[in-house]
A = this chain, B = another copy of it.
Amino acid sequence: MIGTSPTEDTRVRSAAVARALGDPKRLCVLESLAAGELSVGELALRVSCQVPNMSQHLAVLRAAGLVTARRDGNTVFYRLADPKVLEACHLLLSIAR
């Protein structure tokens, strides 16, 4: 059953996840990752921001557990940690109409 009332701690973490979703560029990142993993540089291009800035956004998403990183030689690839993340994006979309 889904109706057990969350503890305060759980709510704090849920809120942290929501805050991680609460930036247009980060939403754009997650949408871009829907099709598969991408490097930091490619993500910076799509979202059109500087690489250090993208790295920080990715750190936020990583800290919230929304993406995971994989290093291949010199470049780091990010991917969605959970399909539910995309679900959340779509739900936000439909609520924001």
Q: How far is the CA of A16 from the CA of B22 in the complex (A)?
A: 6
Q: How far is the CA of A94 from the CA of B84 in the complex (A)?
A: 8
Q: Do A8 and B22 contact each other (CB < 8 Å), given the known contacts A84-B95, A95-B65, A96-B13?
A: no
| Residue A27 CB within 8 A of the other chain | yes
Work out how many copies of this chain go into the complex: 2
Majority DSSP secondary structure for residues of A touching B: helix
- Contact indicator per residue, chain A 80-94, by CB within 8 Å of chain B (1) or not (0): 001011011111111
Q: Which residues of the other chain, B, contact A45 by a CB distance below 8 angstroms?
A: none
Q: Which residues of A does B touch, CB under 8 Å? A: 2, 5-6, 8, 10-19, 21-24, 26-28, 31, 65-66, 82, 84-85, 87-97
Q: A15-B21, A65-B95 are in contact. List 16 more A-B contacts (CB 8 A).
A: A2-B90, A10-B93, A11-B24, A13-B96, A14-B89, A14-B93, A15-B23, A15-B24, A15-B27, A17-B95, A18-B18, A18-B19, A18-B21, A19-B22, A84-B94, A85-B95
